[in-house]
Amino acid sequence: MKRLLTTIAAALMALSVNAQQIISTTSNSAHKSNQIVTSFQQQEGGDVRWFIKAGVNYSGLQTAHDYDEIHGDRSLGYVGEIGFNKQIARSPFYYGLAIGACSNLGKEYTDTDSDVRDQLKNFSFNDGDPQHNIYISPVNFGICLNLGIKIDVGVGAFYTVEYLPEFDNHDWGVNANAGIWLGPIYLGAQAQRGMENRTEDKDKPETYLSNIMFRVGIGF
């Protein structure tokens, strides 16, 4: 009887040791799996930087190439924007999205070249109060290089619609931006070039939205 109890005790001890080894092996495997998944996510993913930018919009209209002699005044307005940039893998490249609001020029435009002025006497491109627009840039691609300071350059597309003085004019086009990041602080400029002709009279030169935005911002 004593020998039987000793045999049973030895068997139970062996089972206990084997169970601990199995648990330890399973735990190590789970840990290694988590490390592999984390490493994969780090390779495939990338940082996301949200930002808020605000500044001034130097707004005007650009004429078609047949009327290069025409020069219109520009006016200063506001611009505000919020969006994000998503790093592509662990590279310096990113894609992003931005939504903003700005005031576009609504002042009178006249040419300054005498020959063209004689042809288009008393012609004005646009008059009235400044227009207030909202815009979205759903497609933006860029690169952010860390050279002591981070240099940020990108291009994209935008769509804009007027909401004041009335919900009316819309436009779309391309944009390009360049700036620097000093830690979380952004300093830079963006240009927008519209593709919709702003001149209603077909006998007048075609004009297109041309915005130059100077902005400061913060990333988080």
pLDDT digits (tens, 9 = 90+) for 30-40: 555 455 444 44
pLDDT reported for residue 45: 63
Residue for token pair 């495939």: 44
pLDDT at 214: 98
Q: What integer pLDDT is reported at residue 117 of this predicted model?
A: 43
| pLDDT value of residue 71 | 54
Closest to 158 measured CA to CA, from 83, 216, 98: 98
Structure tokens at 219: 């990333």
For 6, phi then psi, to 5°, come to -65, -40
* pLDDT tens by residue, 8-50: 555 545 555 464 564 455 555 555 545 544 444 444 568 999 9
Q: What mean pLDDT, rounded, does the chain reach?
A: 77
Residues paired with 41 in a beta bridge: none
- Quote the percentage of the chain above a pLDDT of 70: 63
Mean pLDDT, residues 103-131 = 52
What is the rounded CA–CA span in Å between residue 65 and residue 49? 39
Cβ distance 191 to 198 under 8 Å? no
Question: Mean pLDDT across the stretch 86-107?
Answer: 90
Q: Is pLDDT at 62 greater than 50 in this prediction?
A: yes
How large is the average pLDDT for residues 118-140?
69
Element counts in the chain: helices (H) and strands (E): 2, 8
Beta strands 131-147 and 48-63: pairing type? Answer: unpaired
* The token pair that represents 160 in the structure block: 């804009």
Q: How far apart are CA 174 and CA 56, in angstroms?
A: 19
Asked if 45 and 88 touch (Cβ cutoff 8 Å), the reply is no
Asked if the model's pLDDT at residue 77 lies above 80, the reply is yes
Encoding tokens for residue 27?
A: 């735990």
